[in-house]
Amino acid sequence: MIKINENFKKMKPNYLFSNIAKKVAKYQEENPDKKIIKMGIGDVTRPLPKVCTQAMKKAADELENAETFRGYGPEQGYDFLREKILENEYKDLGIDKDEIFISDGAKCDCGNIVDIFAKNNKIAITDPVYPVYLDTNIMAGRTGICKDNGMYENVIYIPMTEENNFVPLLPKEVPDIIYLCFPNNPTGTVLTKDELKVWVDYARKNKSIILFDAAYCAFIEEENIPKSIYEIEGAKDVAIEFKSYSKTAGFTGVRCAYVVIPKTVKGYDENGNVEDLNSMWNRRVCTKFNGVSYIVQRAAEAIYTKEGMKEVKDNINYYKENAKIILETLKECGIKAYGGKNSPYIWLKVPNSGKSWDFFDTLLEKVNIVGTPGEGFGPSGEGYFRLTAFNTKENTIEAMERLKNFLSK
Ligand SMILES: *Cc1c(COP(=O)(O)O)cnc(C)c1O
């Protein structure tokens, strides 16, 4: 008889975005003439830089000829891409080529990384949070069940709210694995170098590890905000970093990302012996993965050309312009809002101390705008709401006009 992984039963039955999709589909079916503007899901809308699609076509042509054909590539990724990453993202940070592993997405990386850690590690997540960190640990059996307050047993929740200005405070109980994501999804807020250093020092003191998700680093415009955790002194001993081309270069459908595991990051076995996490991850990658396609890695390489960098920057500025429009409108309407500066996400406080899902329904039905209820990202997200800057400028302007009109009534 086939036994299932019982941990799956601990998962909440519906994924946040499928709930939203159902509500939107129902409303649209009942109101076919209404134009709904979607500012919910974190997917990009700007097309790929042309140098990237051209690099893909060229790579495809190479595969047509026996002389230039390529089969399996290195599991860790091609050197041509790893070298470009070092040069452009980790200059002067002392990272080594074989500390970089190319993958097909930061979501998979964040989910797969738990393979190399013992089941009895205690995890800490910020609340609200990108759901992948929590759900993959539920599946792996590292949590208890979900309590009535919406929190899982055996997980340390670190609230990020207005009260602490969205800067996570050190928890009372010491975690083994700490998930941090900055610029943050969903709140759009950032940490300064000093604020992040507090966490690096804490991890060093406690022999914990920080899993640092920097998927939105390209949106950072302020000087003292770290684009990589390795800008913080001492982080190379305690942090693994995840980066992705999805939100930065429009690769959500193309799929390419990478994880950085310095050889100096250590874990400990049951007897307290030191183990090298870079080797463990390398072993895992070679066992379960056969690399990202050659075509896609050539496309990623092209991002680092002069034209590629310019197009990426233009696209990011396009989204940021939208974020600015949203922030300004919310301010005019007297709605408190956070993020949106070094990030494509705007995290707003639901007016009149309202609930996230009620605000979702109101926006959908009265203004025909779709956003994401903060509660869907964790209990501390209740009372907040996420809007994204990933729509077109025209739609963003229209949505904000509608919102202004609705709220002034
Ligand atoms: C979108 C997103 C990712 C996923 O990126 P992929 O590379 O497309 O898998 C990872 N982390 C956060 C916080 C994200 O919002």
The sign of the dihedral angle between the CA atoms of 331, 405, 357, 388 is negative
Asked whether residue 220 falls in the same domain as residue 363, the answer is no
Residue with tokens 């779709």: 370
CATH number for 43 = 3.90.1150.10
- The radius of gyration of the chain's CA atoms, rounded to the nearest angstrom, is 22
Asked whether residue 192 falls in the same domain as residue 271, the answer is yes
Nearest CA to ligand 1 atom 11: 215
Residue 139's region, left for phi above 0, alpha for psi from -120 to 50, else beta, is alpha
Please give the residue range of the domain that contains residue 43: 14-47+307-407
Query: Whole-model pTM?
Result: 0.97
Domain count, the chain: 2
Asked whether residue 238 falls in the same domain as residue 206, the answer is yes
Q: DSSP alpha helices (H): ranges in 250-347?
A: 277-288, 294-303, 306-332
Asked whether residue 29 falls in the same domain as residue 60, the answer is no
Asked whether residue 288 falls in the same domain as residue 388, the answer is no
Residue with tokens 């000829």: 65
Gap between the Cα atoms of 311 and 251, Å rounded = 13
Residues with CB under 6 A from ligand 1: 42, 105-107, 130, 181, 185, 213, 215, 244, 246-247, 252, 257
With respect to residue 265, please indicate whether it lies within any of the assigned structural domains: yes
Q: Mark which of 271, 305, 339 sits at the end of a domain.
A: 305
With respect to residue 7, please indicate whether it lies within any of the assigned structural domains: no
Q: Going residue by residue through the chain (409 aa), what tens digit of pLDDT does each one get?
A: 999 999 999 998 767 888 899 999 999 999 999 999 999 978 999 999 999 999 999 999 999 999 999 999 999 999 999 999 999 999 999 999 999 999 999 999 999 999 999 999 999 999 999 999 999 999 999 999 999 999 999 999 999 999 999 999 999 999 999 999 999 999 999 999 999 999 999 999 999 999 999 999 999 999 999 999 999 999 999 999 999 999 999 999 999 999 999 999 999 999 999 999 999 999 999 999 999 999 999 999 999 999 999 999 999 999 999 999 999 999 999 999 999 999 999 999 999 999 999 999 999 999 999 999 999 999 999 999 999 999 999 999 999 999 999 998 7
Mutate to test the pocket of ligand 1, among 112, 243, 246 (most ligand atoms within 8 A of CB): 246
d(CA 407, ligand 1 centre) in Å: 33
Gap between the Cα atoms of 93 and 402, Å rounded = 47
Helix (H) or strand (E) holding 158: strand 155-159
Residue with tokens 């790893």: 82
pLDDT computed for residue 41 by the predictor:
77
Asked whether residue 144 falls in the same domain as residue 235, the answer is yes
Q: Looking at ligand 1, which atom is closest to the CA of residue 107?
A: 9
d(CA 110, ligand 1 centre) in Å: 9
CATH number for 156 = 3.40.640.10
Gap between the Cα atoms of 354 and 362, Å rounded = 11
